[in-house]
Homo-oligomer: A and B are copies of this chain.
Amino acid sequence: MTYKSHEPKAQKFELTRDRLLDEAENLFAQRGYYAVSVREITSAAAVNLAAVNYHFGNKQNLYLEVFRSRWMPRASQIQQSFRQSLKHNGNPTPDLVIQSFARAFLEGPMSAEERTRHLKLISGELAQPTEAFELVVEQVFRPLFGNLLQDMRKVMPDAIDEKQMVLNIFSILSMVLYFNFARPLIAQFVGGRDIDDLETRLVDHIVKFSLYGIDRGEKEDSI
């Protein structure tokens, strides 16, 4: 990596910083904070070992910055996709709200790899919370939750217990999260074939399950 004099220094600076964040996110998502070394990150990013300390102070801070400047914007993107799909579909029904929500997370506006990375990072925090977890709960999760509650309240009878609704939302969230990172396992059990449309199938399932529970074969319109 020779320094090209026609690139402004500021540009090179940003480039190094970005590459570090990209590679760090990728590696942290794959194997977790402690299993990944700074040496590994800098070498994957093809930058000098000292760059992490220069740009972020220390490893912990690089990790936090991954959440701040990569994870959180992506979370906003997902939420935006959810809201647009809701608006776009006219008069919202419970079905539509749930479907839009599940779609935003499982099919969403990003590539499969990017989505996996995104959800692996948060899975790690759920399993072993660090400082980043607080950040995400306060800045992403709590607002998202508030919005969802409002949306659901709008389309459903107000007779519903607020706490009940919270549990409902957690149930949907649990499926969305879990299905994402247990997908290899699910694919194994559902059968090796037709994994292409597994995503669509999962969304369909989540929507149906969330609305009606397990399919007891009572309905005519089952898939």
Q: How many copies does the complex hold?
A: 2
A212 touches B209 (CB 8 A): no
Does A10 interact with chain B (Cβ within 8 Å)? no
Count residues of chain A with CB under 8 A from any CB of chain B: 59
Q: Bound state CA distance, A181 and B166, in angstroms? A: 16
Known contacts A124-B127, A210-B214, then 10 further A-B pairs from the complex at CB < 8 Å, ordered by chain A residue = A98-B214, A126-B181, A141-B185, A157-B216, A161-B223, A167-B190, A170-B182, A171-B206, A172-B214, A209-B213
Return chain B residues, CB-CB under 8 Å to A137.
185
Return chain B residues, CB-CB under 8 Å to A32.
32, 34, 127-128
- Give me 20 A-to-B residue pairs in the complex whose CB atoms sit less than 8 angstroms apart, sorted by A's number: A31-B128, A34-B35, A124-B127, A127-B127, A127-B181, A137-B185, A156-B217, A160-B216, A161-B215, A166-B186, A166-B190, A167-B201, A167-B205, A168-B209, A168-B214, A168-B215, A170-B178, A177-B178, A209-B210, A210-B214
